[in-house]
Structure 1
Amino acid sequence: MCRHEPACPTAHAADHDTAAALARHDDQGWVLLCNGVVLFDDTGELLPDGGVVAPHRPVPASAAA
């Protein structure tokens, strides 16, 4: 899917969310990456095979204590 040189990371690579953006819909809260991953504003992700990555927002230090 990716035609960049060097190629963007695959959808299942650890750094898959660093791929180039193909489409942005900030008004709807999502970005389509060139590896087929859809990133959502809440930090959740939809993988091209239908897999889901749950939101993984950092926990504020005050809430962790």
Structure 2
Amino acid sequence: MCQHQPPCPTADAPDRDAVHLIASHPEQGWSLLCNGVLHFEDTGVLLPDGQVIRPCRPGRHEVAGSAA
């Protein structure tokens, strides 16, 4: 899908978010990246093959400013 040179990271690469933005819809909470990844405002990800990566949410002891 990506036509950039050098090519952007693929959808299954660990740095898949380091790509060019194709479409942004903040009012709907999602963006389309040039590698076919749908990135959601809640940090969830939908890969082109349909695989879902759950949002990264801090645990109870990982909240900034809390005493762990």
Q: Scaled by the length of structure 2, what TM-score is found?
A: 0.86
Determine which structure has the larger helix proportion and give its number: 1
Distance 1:61 1:29, change over 3 A: same
Deviation >4 Å, runs of 4+: none
- The percentage of aligned residue pairs carrying the same residue is 58
Distance in 1 (CA, whole Å) between partners of 2:38 and 2:28 is 12
Distance in 1 (CA, whole Å) between partners of 2:11 and 2:39 is 11
1:30 is matched with 30
Please give the root-mean-square deviation of Cα atoms over the aligned residues, in Å.
1.5
Distance in 2 (CA, whole Å) between partners of 1:34 and 1:25 is 15
Q: Scaled by the length of structure 1, what TM-score is found?
A: 0.89
Unaligned runs of 5+ in 2: none
Distance 1:63 1:28, change over 3 A: same
Structure exhibiting the larger radius of gyration computed from Cα positions: 2
Unaligned runs of 5+ in 1: none
Offset of residue 63 of structure 1:
4.4
